[in-house]
Structure 1
Amino acid sequence: MTTMNARLSVMMFLQFFIWGGWFVTLGTFLSSTLGASGGQIGMAFSTQSWGAIVAPFVIGLIADRYFNAERILAVLHLLGAVLLYQLYSAADFSVFYPYVLVYMVIYMPTLALVNSVAFRQMRDPALEFSRIRVWGTIGWIVAGVVISFVFAWDSREAISAGGLRNTFLMAAIASLVLGLYSFTLPATAPLKEQASTGGIKQLLGLDALGLLKDRSYLVFFIASILICIPLAFYYQNANPFLAETGMTNPTAKMAIGQVSEVLFMLLLPLFIQRFGIKLALLVGMLAWALRYVLFAYGNNGDLAFMLFTGIALHGICYDFFFVSGQIYTDAKAPERFRSSAQGLITLATYGVGMLIGFWVAGQVTDRFVVAGGHDWQSIWLFPAGFALLVLVCFLFTFRGQQALATPSKA
């Protein structure tokens, strides 16, 4: 690994260590420590979607036009450290919610910013990006290991004592470190032509919408929104589902998904080079459908292997669709608004798609509440069928390039 790639890998590690350090256990923390209702928990999860919707405008207004991306990244994470500390100190949900909303509006643009900083330093993004992005997944895994095995904040005793509150303090410290570290990252200045030209579309980052004139990219964009509906079911329901089945330490065991994510991210460039972007995206969608079928029919007894297989499929689910989509977006976007394009795909997935998905997941889950828990088989079959429908539509409508060419410099 080159020195430059090592520096970018540290950036990715901290970026996702921060997120994984509090987001996985958010629902448990809100219900057990702050006494939040199911509706309030849904509101808290949806803040990431509102942040993602705002993200393209932040990137278009600032990163692609006026200031270096790494400096904006630094400022946002320093502000984030202050907000995470406020979450650590919040006494009830009414105090917690405004801070988490503002924090996610600040944090979500940084997902596109770290991609922009990384892509601008690469000669061959299709080959190099996954090797750097994988360190973000490792950061997420390490955060979970620290929570479960170093401090045991998610043990029953610690949860009862409010131990999960410490996850926000840990994330605040990591955010402070990344904020300071970002000032040392390679300069990622706005492109001259971007800074010198005007227009309201360019000012707001809406010039990236020009990508949607390409039929194949439009199909991919719509599919990205739709496949996030099944994704929301996993984020919102996987941990409660595993707990209701009687699985011990479900949070720690869910890290199997991130381990598989590391492995498949390393394989992704080879797969794309050999089989093309369309097949990679289709495999990702098929994995979502298969995962939920395994959840629907597995149990914590003789069919526990089905639950663990479903968790392990996370690597294919996430890498083969979402990371492939980031690479595909970078290849399709002209250089002058590549940061805006990354913000646009963030809006489609973590923004619009997840916002719809969290609402749908909540409605479906409430529909199948039964005495003593939920009818999980019926709940999981819904996203399984939905993911399969998206796959079939994508198969017959997407005509994207089979191999990723050098990105356009237009």
Structure 2
Amino acid sequence: MLTPYLAMFLDGRGLNSVEIGQLLALITLTRILGPNLWANLADRSGKSLRILQIGAALALASFFVIFIADGFWGLTLCFGLIMMFWTAIMPQMEVITLNSVAGDAHKYSRIRLWGSLGFILLTISAGRLIDWFGTEVLLVICLALLAALLLVSTRLREPEQLPDNSPHTGSIWSKLKSPVFLGFILALCLLQVGFGPYNSFFTLFMKDLGYSGMQTGLLLSLGVLAEILIFLKAGRLIQRFGIKWMLLISLALTVVRWALLAHFAHLPWVLIATQCIHAASFGLTHATAIQFIHRYFGRRYQSRGQALYVSLAGGLGGAVGNFGAGLLWQQGQGATQAFLAAAMVVGVSLVVILLIPSRHLECASEPAR
């Protein structure tokens, strides 16, 4: 919940754009170590739900420190600690969900949209609360959400462990060295690099353009609404057109999205259009990636597979993107250059996917026999 407004929160705490970019990059690096550590425990124990509950409890406990933390390093250490525990939660949510629906892409997408609905409600509400009470209100919201997550997790049950019928064999290292996986993860990593200016500074960008917190919240919610609509169809689209075509279309639209923000963000209809493209930039790419990873690694390595995706794409790619965005942003004066750089990076990602032979990429998306 804090992520969309984190730049505004840090700006309110007195950090400049370079410091914000560096802080976001440093805490994002915890997504490299954290997911793999927790996933290794989950795979060895077979207790994904218990790992999720431990992560939620530790994240809640560590969040209290932010109320008294101050300065660049104090805030960096606090957010890094919280992120380390948060990385125990997200991959296990994916594993539990996919096991519960037996890997069915359509059912997964329908469940995933409920998270998007919640995000819409909270984003709009948080935007209004920021207008009324300032950015510090975000801490109270996040604390309440973490407490609710911990409470709800105690009511869940560990899904039944079904036998692994995946056709893929071999050690996890052989899977990691595969050209298909290397190309796939490179492309997704570059996509996350391209998200750097958006993830780091979009809310500040809207503030500089004269939009209120409520209006920014509505724009963010429009992007998530587009996510919901694509999640309803993502499973069928992946099954019909395959992973490669879904990624190519999504990446091409993302290039257009960042290019439009670079040159025409002052036009309201451009902001609306680019937020609608979020359906492809995030929604469709995420659903496609999750399916690829789940089926490629099989049940034996599923937690570590999801963790590798989070750490390499979200962690490494996100850290590089946040750091680069911080250097280019220059208190908003470098917004055009930052979004143009993002468009070029995603363009390289598009070329990487284009170079992977369809038969190699699609084999991972075939149902297990």
Query: TM-score normalized by structure 2?
Result: 0.89
Q: Distance in 2 between matches of 1:209 and 1:231?
A: 29
Is 1:86 matched with 2:65?
Answer: yes
Structure 1 residues 398 and 167: CA distance shift in structure 2, 3 A: farther
Q: Can you list the C-alpha shifts for 1:278-317, whole angstroms capped at 9, x where unaligned?
A: 11111121121010121122143xx321121112211110
- 1:138 and 1:262 in contact (8 A); partners too: yes
CA drift of 1:145 comes to: 2.1
- 2:328 and 2:334 in contact (8 A); partners too: no
- 2:292 and 2:364 in contact (8 A); partners too: no
- 1:256 and 1:311 in contact (8 A); partners too: yes
CA drift of 1:344 comes to: 0.7
In structure 2, give the amino acid aligned to 1:386. V
1:380 paired residue among 319, 330, 339: 339
Q: Distance in 1 between matches of 2:334 and 2:41?
A: 47
Which residue pairs with 2:8 in the alignment? Answer: 28
Q: Distance in 2 between matches of 1:124 and 1:96?
A: 39
Alignment of 1:257-406 (within 5 A): 257-300=223-266, 303-366=267-330, 373-399=332-358, 400-401=361-362, 404-406=365-367
Q: Distance in 1 between matches of 2:315 and 2:335?
A: 26
- 1:282 and 1:391 in contact (8 A); partners too: yes
Q: Distance in 2 between matches of 1:93 and 1:246?
A: 27
- 1:286 and 1:391 in contact (8 A); partners too: yes
Q: Distance in 2 between matches of 1:299 and 1:356?
A: 24
Q: Distance in 2 between matches of 1:356 and 1:91?
A: 24
Which residue pairs with 1:225 in the alignment? Answer: 189
Which residue pairs with 1:140 in the alignment? Answer: 119
Percent identical among aligned pairs is 21
CA drift of 1:186 comes to: 2.0
Structure 1 residues 94 and 359: CA distance shift in structure 2, 3 A: closer
Q: Distance in 1 between matches of 2:96 and 2:196?
A: 28
1:186 paired residue among 138, 141, 157: 157
Structure 1 residues 383 and 25: CA distance shift in structure 2, 3 A: same
Which residue pairs with 1:175 in the alignment? Answer: 146
Is 1:153 matched with 2:129?
Answer: yes
Alignment of 1:188-227 (within 5 A): 188=159, 208-227=172-191
1:122 paired residue among 80, 98, 101: 101
Unaligned runs of 5+ in 1: 1-19, 194-206
Structure 1 residues 94 and 123: CA distance shift in structure 2, 3 A: closer
Q: Distance in 2 between matches of 1:342 and 1:320?
A: 17
In structure 1, give the amino acid aligned to 2:9. F
Q: Distance in 2 between matches of 1:231 and 1:299?
A: 16
- 1:80 and 1:172 in contact (8 A); partners too: no
In structure 2, give the amino acid aligned to 1:143. L
Unaligned runs of 5+ in 2: 165-170
RCO comparison, higher one (Cα < 8 Å, 6+):
2
Q: Distance in 1 between matches of 2:338 and 2:71?
A: 30
- 2:224 and 2:278 in contact (8 A); partners too: yes
Q: Distance in 2 between matches of 1:287 and 1:375?
A: 23
Structure 1 residues 82 and 403: CA distance shift in structure 2, 3 A: closer
Which residue pairs with 1:97 in the alignment? Answer: 76
- 1:296 and 1:377 in contact (8 A); partners too: yes
Q: Distance in 2 between matches of 1:297 and 1:108?
A: 35
CA drift of 1:263 comes to: 0.8
Q: Distance in 2 between matches of 1:127 and 1:108?
A: 25
Mean CA deviation greater in 226-235 or 373-382: 373-382
Q: Can you list the C-alpha shifts for 1:101-133, whole angstroms capped at 9, x where unaligned?
A: 100011023110101111111234222111111
Q: Distance in 1 between matches of 2:27 and 2:227?
A: 21
Mean CA deviation greater in 265-274 or 173-182: 173-182
User: The residue matched to 2:102 in structure 1 has which SS?
Assistant: coil
Q: Distance in 2 between matches of 1:48 and 1:192?
A: 37
2:49 paired residue among 65, 70, 77: 70
CA RMSD of superposed structures (Å): 2.5
Structure 1 residues 254 and 243: CA distance shift in structure 2, 3 A: same
In structure 2, give the amino acid aligned to 1:326. I
In structure 2, give the amino acid aligned to 1:179. L
Q: Distance in 1 between matches of 2:328 and 2:248?
A: 25
Alignment of 1:241-256 (within 5 A): 241-248=205-212, 249-256=215-222
- 2:130 and 2:137 in contact (8 A); partners too: no
User: The residue matched to 1:24 in structure 2 has which SS?
Assistant: helix
Q: Can you list the C-alpha shifts for 1:140-168, whole angstroms capped at 9, x where unaligned?
A: 212212212xxx3221x632xxxx22222
Q: Can you list the C-alpha shifts for 1:200-258, whole angstroms capped at 9, x where unaligned?
A: xxxxxxx5443223322221111111111111121012222222222343233222111
- 2:296 and 2:364 in contact (8 A); partners too: no
- 1:127 and 1:269 in contact (8 A); partners too: yes
In structure 2, give the amino acid aligned to 1:262. I
